[in-house]
Structure 1
Amino acid sequence: MANWKINLTVLWFGNFLVMGGMTMIVPFLPLYIQEMGIHDAHAVAMWAGIIFAGNFVTSFIFQPIWGGLADRYGRKVMLLRSGFGMAIVMTLMGFALTPWHLLLLRMLNGVISGFVPAAVSLLSTNTPREKMGMAMGTLQSGGVAGTILGPLFGGLLAEWIGFRPIFYITGGLLFAASLLATFLVKESFDSAQAKRQPKQSIWVGLKELSKIQELPALYSVTFVIQFSILSSMPLIPLFVQELHGSGELLAFYAGLVGSITGFSNMIASPLLGKIGDRIGSVKVLAIALIGAGLAFIPQALVTNIWQLFAARFMLGIFMGGLLPSVQTLIRQYTPNGMESRSYAFNTSSLSLGNMLGPVIGGALSGWIGIRGIFMVAAVMLFLNMIWVRLTLYRRTLNATSES
């Protein structure tokens, strides 16, 4: 098997475990906080939100730092640093005695995180360009699969073995995935040439990359994707209750609505990646932005739970063409030697969307409701499509006509 295919297989497994480990705590986080002695409902909700967001706050800050080091010392080094580091921190979460302990560990996890952007960067620089879209789509499906199945496994394991052992198991699996990457992942990296490159601060690197018109557009796409999806995510269970009414299957339906988008995303990502290799990732990105925007509109108009399922499934299909296309195009427009920093800034954009989406969506829902939030998401995606067309699509057409 070619080295890039081995890399893809191992990194897919690693992405699955990292994202699964990050989301596994979602079903039982409030219960774990209650086990620590916090019983007031408002206090539990407040701690759960802060603890869950803590990881994204520090990740937003530190990703560009690790990206700069990856460009200088190699992506595999950063991959292993993050993998083994998160394995240790995740295990320590099982020993947390107070919410403060858990919050600090989640923030530390965000500081040392970076497995996913390092995996994307390593794969992008060690994969044939004609296979880039397929590789990025497949890698994306691993992270999505972990995001979908993490809460499911977390909920099941919490019933069987309790809360704390879940962290020990997750830490062990992350350690195993990192060990596998140590021996099987191969990187072609010229360390001597990298060290000859002048050292740059984060701001200088960002300023240099921002001069490339296409990259800010791609970062904005990533932010809008995460913001649009997560702005309504915390409100979905209440919307399901409004459509279905209270009953024994309410929790099941709420979980299914939350995961069905991920299932269709996981299926569509590799397929749309292959299409991107044939017709160009810019075209796939443009179509996917329009499709995702259109898929939000019927969610604002549904009258029963089955219509919501169908609309969310279609949304996931179009989402499958968004992030893989962005990642492929980032590699295309980024100068050699700055790949990791470029992907790190994109990860910061993703973390910013993860942070602001639920906060602003929750605040706006009091005025416009979740149906209004869906329409806002649609408008944001359409505006982002215009921005992409002005900065990417038109320049692609001009480059094609000139050649």
Structure 2
Amino acid sequence: MESWRRNVLILWAAVFIASACWTMVMPFMPVFLGDDLGVTAGVTAWAGLLGAAGSGFSVLSAPLWGALGDRFGRKAMMVRAGIFLGLSYVLMSLVRSPQELLGVRIMIGALTGFIPAATALVATTTPELHLGKALSLVATGNQAGSILGPMVGGVLADLVGIRHTMILSGVFVLAATLLVLVAVREEFQRPAQQQSNVLGDMRQMLRVGPLALVLLTSILMMTSQAAMEPILVPYIKELLGPGQPNWMAGVIYSLPGVAFVIAAPWWATLGGRWGYATTVSVGLLGGALLTVPQALVGGGMAMGFFRLTAGLALASVSPGISALITEVVAREQRGKAFGLNQSAFNLGAMLGPLLGGFLGDLVGIRWVFVLTAVLLMVSAAWCWTFVRVQVQQRTGTDLSA
């Protein structure tokens, strides 16, 4: 087997494990805050703050790790991130107050970045001809993990408790990191020393007009999705009714991941034909239209249906954005570019939980879905109006083809 194909398969497995471990724990933070840490007021606001704090520090650190990956190797950055992430889960299991939990979340945001490092590694070791499908495949590993994670996390929360689930997550992430260390091959040549610095590199990258536009699409899209995080599991449990186990909420929560695994390869094929900016725009608009009914449903089955169908539409977005970055950024600079994109995602992941958590407390959970739909519509219009045209000018493709 060619080395790049072997890398993609191993990185798929590592990303799958990391994503599953993350979603085994994070969707149940509101439950953990209430049941284990004794938070009785403002649970959704606390959950939003926890999500925002980690993401906020990652906004600052992700470009640094991306730039260091370009200088010292993306595999080294992935191993570094995996070690810190695995240890962070174990520390999270030991907290006794929401303030301590907040400190661990900040550490995760500042020191990790396992999945973005895997994306950068794929983007720099895969031949250009196969790059779109390779990125889409690794993205399906992320989403497949997000399918399994909430289901397993819900079962484990019922059986052994959330704290022990955190410890198991840490062990699995460290095992995935060992797999990457042993099995992934990267033929990396350290570039010659240049009179530059990380901040200067970031400013230079942002001068690439299409890249800046793509990053804004990432911010808007991620803000919309992250806004639902603090309220989604409590809302689903409310729809299911009292006495229902955590794993049922986990199944409904994970349905967009099921949709992603089904639809992402199809979207990747369409992206190669129509252009990735077009498929990203269409997917964002479809996701918006299918999010509004989630605010109006009266039961768990209906919620599951619209979660699934919205996921089918939104499956075009994250791999499409990754493919857009590879179209407008040179191979040797993709570590920096994906670091910036991770910062854009994390800025959205910081703003979204704050908006969703506090809006849910102030005016009701259902209004968070309306906010999500509006943000998705705005991002679809932005991508169609500006990103599509700029990428066409950059790559010389014909929009009418």
TM-score range, shorter chain: 0.7 to 0.9
Structure 1 residue identity aligned to 2:140 = S
- Measure, in 2, the Cα distance between the counterparts of 1:326 and 1:317: 16
- Measure, in 1, the Cα distance between the counterparts of 2:83 and 2:236: 39
Report the equivalent of 2:323.
Answer: 328
Report the equivalent of 2:176.
Answer: 177
Q: Is the 8 A contact 1:288 1:319 kept in 2?
A: yes
The answer to whether 1:316 aligns with 2:311 is: yes
Structure 2 residue identity aligned to 1:59 = S
Deviation at 1:107, TM superposition (A): 1.9
- Measure, in 1, the Cα distance between the counterparts of 2:29 and 2:371: 30
Deviation at 1:327, TM superposition (A): 0.6
Report the equivalent of 2:228.
Answer: 232
The 5-angstrom pairing of residues 183-222 of structure 1 reads: 183-191=182-190, 194-202=191-199, 204-222=200-218
Q: Is the 8 A contact 2:16 2:141 kept in 1?
A: yes
Shifted more, 70-79 versus 360-369: the winner is 360-369
Structure 2 residue identity aligned to 1:292 = G
Report the equivalent of 1:338.
Answer: 333
The answer to whether 1:268 aligns with 2:263 is: yes
TM-score by length of 2: 0.87
- Measure, in 2, the Cα distance between the counterparts of 1:89 and 1:315: 32
Report the equivalent of 2:152.
Answer: 153
CA pair 101-298 structure 1, distance change in 2 beyond 3 A: closer
Report the equivalent of 1:83.
Answer: 82
The answer to whether 1:121 aligns with 2:117 is: no
Query: Unpaired runs of 5+ in structure 1?
Result: none
Q: What do residues 244-263 of structure 1 show as CA deviations (whole Å, max 9, x unaligned)?
A: 57344486664443222221
The 5-angstrom pairing of residues 50-129 of structure 1 reads: 50-129=49-128
The one of 375, 388, 391 aligned to 2:386:
391
CA pair 280-131 structure 1, distance change in 2 beyond 3 A: farther
Structure 1 residue identity aligned to 2:144 = A
Q: Is the 8 A contact 1:268 1:317 kept in 2?
A: yes
Where 1:195 maps in the other structure, the secondary structure is: coil
CA pair 50-394 structure 1, distance change in 2 beyond 3 A: closer
- Measure, in 2, the Cα distance between the counterparts of 1:396 and 1:27: 36
- Measure, in 2, the Cα distance between the counterparts of 1:46 and 1:221: 26
Q: What do residues 27-79 of structure 1 show as CA deviations (whole Å, max 9, x unaligned)?
A: 6546656787x435127766555445443232222111111111111111111
Q: Is the 8 A contact 2:280 2:317 kept in 1?
A: yes
Q: Is the 8 A contact 2:48 2:357 kept in 1?
A: no
- Measure, in 1, the Cα distance between the counterparts of 2:276 and 2:249: 33
Q: Is the 8 A contact 1:134 1:277 kept in 2?
A: no
Q: What's the RMSD between the two structures over aligned residues?
A: 3.1
Structure 2 residue identity aligned to 1:7 = N
Deviation at 1:120, TM superposition (A): 0.6
CA pair 251-105 structure 1, distance change in 2 beyond 3 A: closer
Report the equivalent of 2:2.
Answer: 2
CA pair 151-300 structure 1, distance change in 2 beyond 3 A: closer
Q: Is the 8 A contact 1:137 1:320 kept in 2?
A: no
Deviation at 1:164, TM superposition (A): 4.1
CA pair 98-385 structure 1, distance change in 2 beyond 3 A: closer
Q: Is the 8 A contact 1:213 1:391 kept in 2?
A: no
Structure 1 residue identity aligned to 2:19 = M
Query: Unpaired runs of 5+ in structure 2?
Result: none
Deviation at 1:300, TM superposition (A): 4.6
Structure 2 residue identity aligned to 1:41 = T
Structure 2 residue identity aligned to 1:179 = L
Instruction: Detail structure 1 runs of 4+ shifted over 6 Å in the superposition.
Output: 43-46
Structure 2 residue identity aligned to 1:8 = V
- Measure, in 2, the Cα distance between the counterparts of 1:112 and 1:393: 34
Deviation at 1:119, TM superposition (A): 0.7
Q: What do residues 285-328 of structure 1 show as CA deviations (whole Å, max 9, x unaligned)?
A: 22212222222244355465544332221110111110001011
Q: Is the 8 A contact 1:223 1:353 kept in 2?
A: yes
Shifted more, 349-358 versus 302-311: the winner is 302-311
Deviation at 1:122, TM superposition (A): 0.9
Deviation at 1:229, TM superposition (A): 1.8
- Measure, in 2, the Cα distance between the counterparts of 1:78 and 1:128: 21
Q: What do residues 117-143 of structure 1 show as CA deviations (whole Å, max 9, x unaligned)?
A: 111111011112222222112111222
Report the equivalent of 1:16.
Answer: 16
Q: Is the 8 A contact 1:288 1:322 kept in 2?
A: yes
Q: Is the 8 A contact 1:240 1:250 kept in 2?
A: no
- Measure, in 1, the Cα distance between the counterparts of 2:30 and 2:364: 25
- Measure, in 1, the Cα distance between the counterparts of 2:260 and 2:52: 24
Structure 2 residue identity aligned to 1:200 = N
- Measure, in 2, the Cα distance between the counterparts of 1:272 and 1:365: 33
Where 1:25 maps in the other structure, the secondary structure is: helix
Where 1:42 maps in the other structure, the secondary structure is: coil
Deviation at 1:226, TM superposition (A): 1.6
Structure 1 residue identity aligned to 2:223 = F
- Measure, in 1, the Cα distance between the counterparts of 2:241 and 2:247: 12
Q: What do residues 58-105 of structure 1 show as CA deviations (whole Å, max 9, x unaligned)?
A: 222211111111111111111111112222333333444554444333
Q: Is the 8 A contact 2:48 2:356 kept in 1?
A: no
